[in-house]
């Protein structure tokens, strides 16, 4: 009986202390607003095309986090109903692969070509920033009866994921300063 009474007394004291503490904290602390904003990885390809020449191909980071960027250029010959220059591209069908574009990169370029066929932007791209031009000007080859289509396809990985870059983009590595370089 004594043990039961001691246990009940002990539990009553613990309950009283907990109630007082909870009452004190609810009166003296301010509520906080959760300001969590999820990371958004997104990009836009900027390019101009006047019907014969594709110019100023670059990538803009339209997300809210820094990203690593890579680009592949895909070329195809299109077979179109009217091949005399006035064809509507949406009415064309792919006739087959076309010769790939060879871009001459100088030593000071912000891009490099890896053995997987992708062009990698060396630096992290901050939100709102645009890469330097990968392709400054390109006039496609001609072949009677076909139109040349050069598609620019980009992909990005969030900048704080250097390990992911090295595991998913196996032909590049990230150095201690966060810059991409060739692994192969």
Copy the structure tokens of residue 67: 């990203």
Contact in structure between 112 and 105 (CB atoms under 8 Å): yes
Residue 87 reports pLDDT greater than 70: no
Let me know whether 106 and 160 are in one domain. yes
Chain position carrying tokens 């009415």: 91
> What's this model's pTM, rounded to 2 decimal places?
0.74
Decide which of 53 and 68 is more confident: 68
pLDDT exceeds cutoff 80 at 120: yes
Residue 175: its pLDDT value, please?
Answer: 92
Percent share of the chain, pLDDT over 90? 36
Q: Are residues 91 and 151 in the same domain?
A: yes
Of residues 105 and 126, more confidence is placed in 126
Q: Is residue 36 part of a domain?
A: no
133 located within any domain: yes
Q: Which residue has the higher pLDDT, 146 or 169?
A: 169
Q: Please tell me whether residues 25 and 95 are part of one structural domain.
A: no
Q: Quote the pLDDT of residue 72.
A: 92
Q: Over 80: is that where the pLDDT of 81 sits?
A: no
Q: Using alpha carbons, select from 120, 129, 137 the residue that is nearest to residue 181.
A: 120
Count other Cβ atoms within 10 Å, centred on residue 92. Answer: 19
Q: Which of 60-69, 92-101, 112-121, 162-171 has the lowest mean pLDDT?
A: 92-101
Domain containing 10 equals 1-30
User: Are 57 and 127 contained in the same domain?
Assistant: yes
| Residues 70 and 26 reside in one and the same domain | no
User: CA 79, CA 92: separation in Å to the nearest integer?
Assistant: 5
Assess whether 168 and 112 both reside in one domain. Answer: yes
- How many structural domains does the chain have? 2
- Residue bearing the bigger pLDDT, 35 or 172: 172
Report pLDDT for 52.
Answer: 77
Domain assignment present for 129:
yes
């Amino acid at each position: 009986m004594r043990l039961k009474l001691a246990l009940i007394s002990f539990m009553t004291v613990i309950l009283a202390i907990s109630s007082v503490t909870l009452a004190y904290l609810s009166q003296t602390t301010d509520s906080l607003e959760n300001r969590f904003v999820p990371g958004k990885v997104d990009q836009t390809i900027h390019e101009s095309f006047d019907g014969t020449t594709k110019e100023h191909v670059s990538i803009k980071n339209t997300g809210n986090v820094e990203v690593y960027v890579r680009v592949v250029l895909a070329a195809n010959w299109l077979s179109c109903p009217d091949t005399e220059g006035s064809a509507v591209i949406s009415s064309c069908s792919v006739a087959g692969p076309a010769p790939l574009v060879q871009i001459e990169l100088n030593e000071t370029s912000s891009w490099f070509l890896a053995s997987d066929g992708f062009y990698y932007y060396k630096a992290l791209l901050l939100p709102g920033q645009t890469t330097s031009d990968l392709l400054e000007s390109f006039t496609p080859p001609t072949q009677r009866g076909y139109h040349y289509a050069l598609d620019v396809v980009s992909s990005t990985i969030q900048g704080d994921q250097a390990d992911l870059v090295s595991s998913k983009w196996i032909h590049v590595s990230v150095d201690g300063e966060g810059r991409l370089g060739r692994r192969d």
